A = this chain, B = another copy of it.
Amino acid sequence: MQEHENQFRDFLKQKGLKLTKSRNLVLEAAFKLHEHFDAETLYSHIRAANVSLATVYRTLPLLVEAGLIQLAVRSEGRDRFEHILGHPKHVHWICERCKQVAETDLSSLQEALDAEAKSIKFQIGQITINITGLCRNCSIDEYEQD
């Protein structure tokens, strides 16, 4: 039994919700993927098991509330998530030109954020640090174009 399964079960029990076959499939799909995913992607991985897209949409916020996944970015009009467990906090560097998303460790910023949170007495749930701009390749291209 994986840790995320335990965590989800505990979360549901504590909320008086049921652990269903469909919810479990959504969870498993989310942890099988190791990149950002949207609802449709998750759905494509489990539709064969007769899980509806609506249920995927209904389960996603549960996983977020359980602290298992989080919204990573929103691109092309769709919300893209990523699982959290086993995936250390990171910064997203989003290239506006090629749309690629790079990640770097967040630890160098963590301390400053925690201090700030403490001073305003804010209880941190999730941290999103997304930086848009030009990746190395694309800023080189820009230069050459002029």
Contacts and interface: CB of A to CB of B under 8 A. Distances in A.
A93 B74 contact: no
Nearest to A96: B125
Contacts of A129: 127-129
Contact of A104 (B120, B131, B134): B120
A33 interface: no
Given A122-B93, A136-B121, A109 B102 contact: no
Interface in A98-130: 102, 104, 108-109, 112-113, 115-117, 120-130
A101 to B, nearest CB: 11
- Quick one: copies of this chain in the complex? 2
Interface residues of A, number: 32
A132 interface: yes
Nearest to A130: B128
A131 B135 contact: no
A52 interface: no
A112 B120 CA distance: 21
Nearest to A70: B132
Interface of A: 74, 91, 93, 95-96, 102, 104, 108-109, 112-113, 115-117, 120-136, 139
